[in-house]
Amino acid sequence: MNDELTGKVAIVTGAGRGLGRIIARTLSDAGANVVVASRTPAQLQEFVEDAEARGRSALAMPTDVTDEGAVDDLVSATVQRFGRVDILVNNSGVVDTSPLLEQAPAAWDRVIDTNLRGTYLVTRAVGAHLVAQGSGKVINIASNFALMGVANHAAYSASKAAVIAFTKSIAVEWARAGVQVNAIAPGYFETDLNAGMRADEEMTSRVLRAIPARRMGSPIELKPWILLLAGTASDFMTGEVIVIDGGQSVT
Residue 100: partners with Cβ closer than 8 Å, 6 or more residues away: 152, 154
For 71-87, the DSSP string reads HHHHHHHHHHHHS---E
Q: How far is 45 from 243, CA to CA, in rounded Å?
A: 31
Q: In Å, how far are 55, 207, 222, 246 from 219, measured between CA atoms? A: 22, 18, 5, 13
Q: In Å, how far are 65, 121, 164 from 249, measured between CA atoms? A: 28, 28, 15
The residues that are catalytic are: 156
For 199-222, the DSSP string reads T-HHHHHHHHHTSTTSSPBPGGGT
Q: Quick one: 29 exposed, middle or buried, by C-beta within 10 A (0-12, 13-18, 19+)? A: middle
pLDDT averages per 10-residue partition of the chain, 251 residues: 82 95 96 97 96 96 98 98 98 95 98 98 98 98 96 97 98 98 95 80 90 94 96 97 96 84
Contact in structure between 55 and 32 (CB atoms under 8 Å) = no
Residue 155: partners with Cβ closer than 8 Å, 6 or more residues away: 96, 103, 107, 108, 111, 112
Residue 123: partners with Cβ closer than 8 Å, 6 or more residues away: 88, 90, 138, 140, 166, 170, 181
- Give the CATH number of domain 3-186+222-244: 3.40.50.720
Residue 2 has a pLDDT of: 53
Q: Which amino acid is it at 222? A: L
How many CB atoms within 10 Å of residue 11? 29
Residue 119: partners with Cβ closer than 8 Å, 6 or more residues away: 65, 90, 92, 140, 163, 166
